[in-house]
A and B are shown apart, each in its own frame.
Chain A
């Protein structure tokens, strides 16, 4: 079973994405911000993919991506940033922090599932 961790401070986003991914057969873990997501990783949650917002309270998505890369077994786990931001400078920052890709909201279900298939070919 492929597990996707969703990190977003918007409950609506979490509900919407969780519904789409669950229907597509993925197991979903959620966190309201980067710090909560890091806590889950440190407690042994091992997602196959992380989809994270950028602007969040307590810990933003780019810092989270940088910290998540240091967690055991997370070096090669794909991390997708899903955000309303579209600036190139932020994208570069995310890339340098270890993010795998950048998706600008809103992303349609088919687009999202297509990107997941690209970054998780075997899943």
Chain B
């Protein structure tokens, strides 16, 4: 500040014959050191204010930096988890395909076995036809025997009874063969229907109680167990993936909060700007005072004018609008610096 004054106030020379009053010069110059001290305090305030703000921003940026590092780790972990998920899901998909393939093969195999059984049952029909032919032939034979028995008279009476019984047996054999044939036809038709049409199951047909273990239930139970294990594995993989994604989200939220905080700290620029504007204004007052003194010594300004324009530290105080400025002013001028704290936020 002293060098500034030296620069702004070239040593004036009083016009010849004019008396320069030392009192006036003293009055004009006396407040300048105190004035400068206040200004000096404010400049230091700005330095401190920007230092604090810069420190806060740097701290915030350090946190942002470390959070970014954590987040990069989380993202890498998530990528790893996703990669494992992809690989394991491929395996699961392949296993599923294999299971379904085996299931289809198993049912084809069962169908083939049932079809063979149906064919074998159809073969039985040939034997039934043979039995029917034998019955018909036996019947004819019995009729012929009866005719011969009648012709033999009393001697053939017993033979006639036997022939009649044989005829009855042939008739019952024919009826039994016919019944077996009908049952086989009915059964093979139903089996054909079961093999070609399972729509009854979808229509809610009767489902028997499963309290008996069969080859089919054992096979299907094994497949269901394998499928359950795969589902559990997929569930575990997805849980890991979701956890990793949540961790990334938490890191991301923390990062956003820190960057927002850092953006908020930038308000220091507006505060420093206003502080510097006040300092510049005060320097301007000092400059004018120095020019006034020089003008007075040269005789360009009257004693009254100089005195009326003398700067006052109290005027400087009136311009301070910030709490910090007022405190600094009080400290620099030896006043009580403990003013009542005003609230930062006040809703009317």
Contact = CB atoms under 8 A, between A and B. Distances in A.
A-side interface size class: 20 to 34
B265 A106 contact: yes
Contacts of B342: 86-88, 91, 104
A97 to B, nearest CB: 11
Contacts of B344: 103-104, 107, 111
Interface in B239-275: 256, 260-261, 263-271, 273-274
Interface residues on B, range: 20 to 34
Interface in B291-348: 321-323, 342-348
Contacts of A23: 256, 260
Nearest to B340: A88
A102 interface: yes
Nearest to A53: B270
Contacts of B346: 91, 101-103
Contacts, number: 87
A107 B347 contact: no
Contact of B270 (A20, A84, A87, A118): A84
Nearest to B274: A84
B263 A106 contact: no
A13 B263 CA distance: 10
Nearest to B325: A84
A55 to B, nearest CB: 7
A73 to B, nearest CB: 21
A58 interface: no
Interface core residue of A12, A95, A119 (most chain B CB under 10 Å)? A12
Contacts of B270: 8, 10, 12-13, 84, 105
Contacts of A120: none
Interface in B23-52: none
B257 to A, nearest CB: 8
Contacts of B348: 95, 99-102
A20 B260 contact: yes
A85 interface: yes
Interface of A: 8, 10, 12-13, 15-16, 19-20, 23, 55, 84-88, 90-91, 95, 99-109, 111-112, 115, 118-119
